[in-house]
Amino acid sequence: MTDVEAFAEFAHDLRGAMGSLRLVMSSLVDEDDAEQRRVFLTMAEDEVQRVAVTATALPALGAAASDQSTPVAVDLSAALADAAAGALRYGVRATVQSGEPTQVLSRPDVLALVLPAVFQLAAGTSGATVVVTETINHSVAITCRTGALWPQARHLFARLVLAANGTAADSDELRFLLPEAP
């Protein structure tokens, strides 16, 4: 998929979310049942949260598309700590449980945008996630514990991980691998 196609897909996702929200708004006008109105409004709030996460991911993908630099050794512990602080500015509390300090190969400017977006994606509407790292062979696995994910979340996650030169792992949690720096 080209960068243009990827951004077109994001535009499509955002239009889909706007479509859902417009349907809810227009249906509330004729909704007499207070309980049904409450259910709709709660679901609309969740949808807004999903749009917010998608919007956070866009700068990371834009940076990945324009950054032509070669991956270098990055201090992952420091990057995760910075990302947790960045995520907190969006109201997401990411608790990082990392092992030994590890150097990974990635593009630092891109990774600095990707990690907070992944944390926000994992936190979802709960506003919190626990991030665990472990070294496996010559890779570092980063796992974000998450609650329920919406259908397109894994696709967005895969795009973000690819942007950071990582590999998304097949897992119930949001888990990806970055190559360990030699």
Partner 1 sequence: MSAPRVLVVDDAELTRTTLIAVLARSGFDVRAASSVADTQGVMQSWMPDCLVLDRRLADGDGVELARELRAQPSFAALRIVLMSGDPLSDEAAAAADRVLLKPAGARAVIDAVTAALAN
Binding region for partner 1 (CB under 8 A): 12, 15-27, 30-31, 36, 39-40, 43-44, 46-47, 150-152
CB of 15 to partner 1, least distance (A): 4
Q: 75 has which bridge partners?
A: 103
Residue carrying the six token digits 């990690």: 115
Nearer to partner 1, 44 or 132 (CB): 44
CB of 21: closest distance to partner 1 in angstroms? 7
Smallest distance from partner 1 to CB 5, Å: 12
For residue 23, the minimal CB distance to partner 1 (Å) is 4
Task: Please give the span between the terminal C-alpha atoms of the chain, in angstroms, as a whole number.
Answer: 30
- Work out whether the CA dihedral 77, 132, 53, 48 comes out positive or negative: negative
The single residue listed with the structure tokens 């979802």 is 124
- The residue among 3 and 46 lying less far from partner 1, judged by its C-beta, is 46
Would the CA dihedral through 21, 25, 26, 32 be positive or negative? Answer: positive
Rounded to the nearest angstrom, the gap between the alpha carbon of residue 160 and the centroid of all alpha carbons in its chain is 7
CB nearer to partner 1: give 26 or 137.
Answer: 26
> Which one, 9 or 134, has the nearer CB to partner 1?
9
